[in-house]
């Protein structure tokens, strides 16, 4: 039986809860999308409607459902080597500077596609002597569920459609029989990447300094003041001269200083 319409007052209550708790910003125009993403979950739980679901996730004893709601409302399509110009720029920069020690941060890592893409790039560069052997990647996300999946490093083949055949052969294992159509990132790369839960709208402990930070395709969920606060918080973990990446469609964050644009969605932190 279809759910009743998501009423405006219930939607506003949900939007306020998400903004106050994790900084997510949902305009009135997003109401149909929010309703469609939550409806299957509400029906699966056997709840009477959206009002009952909001009451559940707003309560102290939600059984982890608030986190599930965050997952449902923020999970976008992701895949390996998304926006390849950023990986090309990073490769060019590192080939020029040839660092012997390197720390990268995938700050909204989702299922790990971005972090493992970076690991493939760095492994190639180490093999050709363009960077040293001391490198690692940190992937963080607000969702425990996606992080558990990221640690396993198992993906449908289509998510790796932009990975070259040579890299697939070097760094991935193809599934067979019951796992046909799946690919797992090899353990030697998974060991280079660690994942941890992090809410970017809360104070960030000392994680860095990092040589490059990827904060791509997450700012779209925040209102302008939250965007500025998140970027400024993240930049405290980036060394002067380091590279900072956002999604090319997200542009420059108004009010944030100390960044020099070097390409669409790519910046250098000033002060080197």
Mapping DSSP to helix (H, G, I), strand (E, B) and coil, where does residue 137 land?
strand
266, β-bridge pairs: 245, 263
Place of tokens 């972090």: 115
For 130, 139, 158, 169, the CA distances from 173, given in Å and listed in that order, are: 26, 21, 14, 8
Residue tagged active-site, from 103, 113, 141, 167 = 141
Cα–Cα distance for residue pair 48/45, rounded to 1 Å = 9
Is 37 tagged catalytic? yes
Residue 142 burial class via C-beta count within 10 angstroms: exposed 0-12, middle 13-18, buried 19 and up: buried
Among 37, 82, 130, 239, the active-site one is 37
CA angle 134, 97, 112 (to 5 degrees): 50
Cα angle 183-186-188, degrees, rounded to a multiple of 5: 165
SS3 label, residue 174: strand
Q: Note if 61 is an active site residue.
A: no
The length of the chain in residues reads: 272
CB 120 within 8 A of CB 164: no
- 80: number of Cβ within 10 Å: 24
- List the catalytic residues: 37, 141
């Amino acid at each position: 039986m279809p759910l009743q319409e998501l009423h405006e007052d219930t939607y506003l209550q949900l939007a306020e809860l998400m903004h106050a708790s994790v900084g997510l910003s949902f305009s009135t125009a997003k109401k149909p999308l929010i309703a469609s993403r939550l409806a299957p979950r509400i029906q699966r739980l056997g709840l009477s409607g959206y009002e009952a679901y909001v009451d559940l996730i707003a309560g102290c004893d939600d059984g982890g459902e608030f986190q599930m709601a965050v997952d449902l409302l923020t999970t976008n399509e992701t895949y390996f080597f998304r926006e390849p110009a950023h990986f090309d720029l990073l490769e060019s920069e590192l080939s020029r500077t040839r660092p012997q020690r390197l720390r990268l941060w995938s700050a909204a890592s989702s299922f790990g596609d971005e972090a493992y893409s970076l690991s493939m790039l760095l492994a190639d560069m180490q093999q050709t002597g363009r960077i040293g052997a001391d490198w690692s990647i940190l992937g963080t996300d607000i969702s425990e569920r996606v992080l558990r999946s990221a640690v396993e490093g198992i993906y449908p083949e289509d998510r790796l459609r932009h990975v070259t055949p040579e890299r697939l052969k070097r760094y991935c294992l193809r599934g067979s029989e019951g796992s046909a159509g799946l690919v797992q990132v090899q353990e030697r790369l998974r060991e280079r990447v660690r994942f941890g839960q992090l809410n970017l709208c809360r104070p960030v402990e000392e994680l860095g300094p990092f040589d490059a930070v990827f904060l791509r395709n997450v700012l779209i969920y925040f209102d302008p003041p939250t965007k500025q606060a998140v970027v400024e918080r993240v930049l405290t973990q980036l060394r002067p001269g380091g590279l900072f990446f956002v999604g090319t469609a997200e542009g420059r964050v108004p009010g944030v200083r100390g960044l020099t644009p070097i390409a669409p969605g790519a910046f250098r932190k000033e002060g080197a």
